[in-house]
Amino acid sequence: MQRVKLDPIDRRILRDLQEDGRMTNVELAERAGISAPPCLRRVKALERAGFIRGYHADVNSEKLGFSVIIFAFVGLSSQSETDLLAFEEMIEDWEEVRECHMLSGETDFLLKIVARDWDEFQKFLTGKLTPASNVSNVKTALAFRTKKQKPGVPIDDNVITGTTDD
């Protein structure tokens, strides 16, 4: 990993785009205190360096009928790197799984799963997840309410470096 110096303007650009990815370049430049052309060059450089991976709409899941959120703690029979990668690859095709995190400890993976209702989740659980290759156990927890759901990371003015995979 290569370390890259991020100056205050870069951090401001990242912080503002993380908050509102649809902001115009002119507005972004004004907030950063620079003119539009150098702002756009900085955004493109941050994209090339991998600091900005993409732009997404924050979609209201409940308005689309997805009112059930479940966290599944998944244990695998084997934790060989090949089996871990195979599990990660398999869940890529499962649209119900919105997040997948490999964990240390008793549980191998934490999945965030969305469904329209309990029946839909039950079909997913018994039809896909529990019978999946190498899955040894699944424990689930229903989210009753989501108070905070903030994408990204805190971007502090004191951070002077970042890393890239270059």
DSSP per position, 48-99: HTTS---------TTTTT--EEEEEEEEES---HHHHHHHHHHHHT-TTEEE
pLDDT confidence of 159, banded at 50, 70, 90?
A: low
pTM: 0.84
Annotated domain spans of the chain: 7-57, 68-143
**CATH class in words for 68-143:** alpha beta
Check whether domain 7-57 has CATH 3.30.230.20, yes or no: no
Q: 11-46, pLDDT tens digit by residue?
A: 999 999 999 999 999 999 999 999 999 999 999 999
